Structure 1
Amino acid sequence: MVDGRSSRKKALLCPGCRRLVSADETTCPFCGLPKPGSRWKNTVFTRVFDSGDRLVNAIIAANAVMFVLSLLISSRGFQLSGNPMTFLSPDSQGLLRLGATGAIPIDRLHHWWTLGSASFLHGGILHIVFNMLALRQIAPLVIREYGTHRMVVIYTLSGVGGFLLSYLAGVNFTIGASSAVCGLIGAALYFGKSRGGIYGRAIYRQVGGWALGIVLFGLVVPGINNWAHGGGMAAGMLLGLLTGYHERKRANRLHRLLGVMCMAGTALILLWAVFTGLVSRI
């Protein structure tokens, strides 16, 4: 007698679309992901893509960890002044050790990898709080329209693109997640303009207000890297066009591969930044 339970197909949530599928499926019937039951597609590393909240929390956590480390390895300690703009500010040496970018780190030290690490460093408590609040506001919209994998691609490459433009413009020393966040704003602007209709126009007007606010803030407040902001926003628009959004192009294998590569590359760069920062501190 054959046990009926042994003949049942195991079911699982597809790592690509989170719908219930058979573990024996060679391709997900909903999103087209090959071999959704493969073990490597259900690892802790890939599960971060399963939830938009989990992904955003992971990015915020990485920024928080790097901020604390920058305070701990600062040569002259960190500032505890009553000025909110400089309160809990790491010094330039600590930031340089952990991967600040610009003409000095790249031209003098040949640290091209800092184009990827600088997005996770901040110059003070207000700096990181404002950037993370902006990320928390705009990321869910981009994730909803582009998906988690494309959001990671846009966020990562926009940060690199913005800092590359600021380096070419001659900015000596720069940090902050705002270049990557501006990339998300750029992608949202492209989505709203491209989609059109009542919803698209509403998104375009809302996000356009944020973009205008960033431009005005950069013109009024000294020390803002407007080149990185503009470069990140332009990169986000271009990446939004190239990768497409859900209504125009369904997420495919290339999007997932690029997302994983961007996340893995960022993780390796940050690990290298921490290693070199601690070694140089010793």
Structure 2
Amino acid sequence: MNNSRIRWYMTRLKLMPFVTYGLLIATVLMYLAEILLGGSDNSAVLLQVGANVGQLVAQGEWWRLITAMFIHIGLLHIATNGVMIYAVGTQIEGLFGHWRMLVIYFVSGIVGNLTSFAFGSMNSISAGASTALFGLFGAFLFLGVGYRQEPYFQMAARQFLTLILINLVLDLFMPSIDIFGHIGGALGGFLIAMVLALPARFGKLPVWQRIAGTVVLLAAAGVLGYLGMVRYAG
């Protein structure tokens, strides 16, 4: 294989949103595992595969803050979130790059699940990629604030702000939806996008801004974890 062919393949790989594809595949595989184990709406199965349950997190099962974002309850749930992972994930990965996309997704999901741990229903089972998805929405919000010189980012930020607000209003009328997880995910996405920033070709963010984002993000995660532990200790 000659050098030009190798460069062509490397360019294709660089442009391919393989992180988004990987997250989507992992989510689908987890759903199939739920089906094989007894059904995606079976509470025992959801607990077995790692859904977010506050009492269990308080007992030390912190890994549920991560696994919960790959678990879905019902076909409509995974179908809706799967489409959004692809649609929004490919955009974020194209802008931020591969490793930043991965960090945004996981940090947003964890912060969203921590918010649910701290403020959500104490007797519910929480699961789904929506905490991470709201983080991707939050990352777009930050682009509108941090890169005001870019008209596209301004337009996208307004669209995603509208999407967030509509979803939160709908959440108020749907008790089964974890509104706190959504709010926390959006906040986590906004902050981690501030910390990571876009690649240098879009311009550099002030160092103080990135440091401030780091401090607020770590403080928020620590406070949420503490509030959740205190809540379940009682």
The alignment status of 1:111 with 2:61, answered yes or no, reads yes
Aligned pair partner of 1:248 in 200, 203, 222: 203
Which segments of 5 or more consecutive residues in structure 2 lack a partner in the other structure?
206-234
Report the AA paired with residue 133 of structure 1.
V
Determine which of 116, 130, 141 is the counterpart of 1:178: 130
Give, in whole Å, the separation in 2 of the partners of 1:101 and 1:124: 16
Question: Taking structure 1 as reference, are residues 111 and 196 closer, same or farther at Cα in structure 2, changes over 3 Å only?
Answer: same
Distance 1:19 1:68, change over 3 A: closer
Identity %: 28
Q: 2:30 aligns with which of 37, 44, 66?
A: 66
How far is 1:201 from its partner?
1.6
Instruction: Supply the distance in 1 between the matched residues of 2:76 and 2:3 (Cα, whole angstroms).
Output: 53
| Partner residue in 2 for 1:194 | 146
Name the CA distance, whole Å, in 1 between partners of 2:20 and 2:118.
30
Please say if 1:227 is aligned against 2:143: no
Shift of 1:148: 1.3
Q: Please name the residue that 1:55 is paired with.
A: 19
- Given the alignment, which residue of 71, 79, 91 partners 1:141? 91
Check the 8 A contact 1:141/1:188 in 2, yes or no.
no
Structure 2 matches for 1:1-282, cutoff 5 A? 12-13=6-7, 18=10, 50-74=14-38, 78=39, 89-108=40-59, 110-172=60-122, 173-197=125-149, 198-246=151-199, 247-249=202-204
Distance 1:248 1:239, change over 3 A: farther
Check 1:9–1:97 CA distance in 2 against 1; reply closer, same or farther (3 A cut): closer
Q: Distance in 1 between matches of 2:72 and 2:17?
A: 22
**Over aligned residues, Cα RMSD in angstroms?**
2.5
Q: Which has the higher contact order (CA 8 A, sep 6+)?
A: 2
Divergent runs of 4+, >6 A: 8-11
Normalising to structure 1: TM-score of the pair? Answer: 0.64
Contact 2:92 2:136 in 1 (8 A): yes
Equivalent pairs counted in the alignment come to 199
